[in-house]
Copies of this chain bind each other. A is one copy, B any other.
Amino acid sequence: GYSFVAASVRLLDGHQKLNYMQLKLKNVRKVLLVAKPSDRKVPEKARDLVSFLIRNDLHVFIEQPLLDEPDFNLENLKASDDRYKTNLSTYDKGCIEQYAREIDLVVTLGGDGTVLYTSALFQEHVPPVLSVFMGSLGFLTNVHLPEFPSIMTKILQGEGMRVTLRRRLHCSFYPDACCKIKQHKHVAKPTRSGVVLVNGNGGGEVSDDDEGPECSPGKKVLQREVMNELVLDRGPHAGLLMLDLYADGLHLTTIQADGLIIATATGSTAYSLSSGGSLVHPDKASMLITPICAHTLTCRPMILPFTIELKIRVSEGSRISAWASFDGRDTTELKPNDAIRVTASRYPFLSLCRVNPTEDWCRSLISTLHWNEREKQLPFS
């Protein structure tokens, strides 16, 4: 369990000031470690990390493939301490949603990809996440491996940790939205308590079982929560992609481009930035619409309120399909008239900070983008 603590009076003001929010984790018992053995150094480092957790009497969950790595050396661990036999379990990622609420903390070990994988894993409720990196700092990782023991100790002692509240976007695919996109009815519904209550005052989130276009009942097939972005592009096809863009039922424009990125604030440092989007503070609730190589000079990146309901439909006259991908996964073809609906997710992603959201973010910008660096030159006047 965990609870929010007001670090300052600013917290009271509303969710926009959550950057000063602190999260106090109580009775941390179950920790899930996400680490992909793709990097040769991961098994050995994961072993150190697991050892630290086990020594602190925590119950640790990891994926089977990691356990099987020679460098993880499970037998040796078991021989050294009986707690490895009782407190170390594997988990089945297929049914992780079922016990997501029982996990007290997720620790990721690796780069930004590992954190995105974690977001994909938890499509509904996400436990608080501590992101540890080994090599270089990323946008989504902030704790260097050597710092892990001292930070984890603070957490176990119940110290409040600042968090970056990363809003995710809920994407649902509507095949064959053949007739006109209809103005949507927004009905407030009671939602579950807990972190999902972004606004803190009950209800009102856009329901993700709202119906789509009237003519295609029950046709919604794919749903995904994205932390960085939804991308629609031409995939393997050359040719001109045309996408109709609707905001709250209003036809904004039809975009002719190589593709379109619908990004969160968190995703503003990823693909959207490469396509000319602005940097957006990760604590901001924003929906970035960034075209990829638009065919008109006037089609600029745009930022919409996070609460808007966005629909992107492959134009009836588009000569090619669009290919959607969700944080780089689950690539799906959209034929002309197919649509994707994007709304605020009710399941945000809480990243524990190293310092605070603003300072962590700036450190990432400088380290990863060489943000605003320049060699000093000799002055001349």
A binding-site residues for B, Cβ under 8 Å: 8-10, 12-17, 19, 36, 38-39, 110-114, 117, 133-138, 186-188, 199, 201, 203-205, 235-236, 238, 247-248, 250, 252-258, 268, 271, 273-281, 283-286, 288, 292-308, 319, 325, 328, 331, 358-359, 362, 366-381
Contact = CB atoms under 8 A, between A and B. Distances in A.
A235 to B, nearest CB: 6
Given A238-B328, A302-B278, A371-B299, A39 B379 contact: yes
Nearest to A114: B380
Contacts of A370: 297-298, 370, 373-375
Contact of A201 (B14, B38, B296, B359): B14
A203 B378 contact: no
Contacts of A138: 377-378
Given A281-B304, A379-B111, A380-B112, A358 B247 contact: yes
Contacts of A250: 358-359, 362
Nearest to A237: B236
Contact of A17 (B284, B307, B371): B307
A205 B17 CA distance: 10
B15 A14 contact: yes
A203 B8 CA distance: 13
A204 B10 contact: yes
Contacts of A304: 281, 284
A268 B288 CA distance: 14
11 contacts: A14-B15, A14-B204, A16-B285, A19-B308, A257-B274, A274-B294, A295-B374, A297-B297, A298-B370, A298-B373, A368-B377
Given A278-B288, A280-B302, A300-B273, A13 B199 contact: yes
B279 A302 contact: yes
A-B pairs, top 6 by smallest CB distance, nearest first, are A113-B380, A13-B204, A236-B236, A274-B293, A111-B378, A9-B188
Given A298-B298, A373-B296, A19 B305 contact: yes
Given A36-B380, A235-B236, A279-B302, 8 more contacts: A14-B201, A16-B305, A17-B307, A134-B378, A137-B375, A253-B371, A255-B372, A276-B276
Given A17-B307, A305-B284, A110 B380 contact: yes
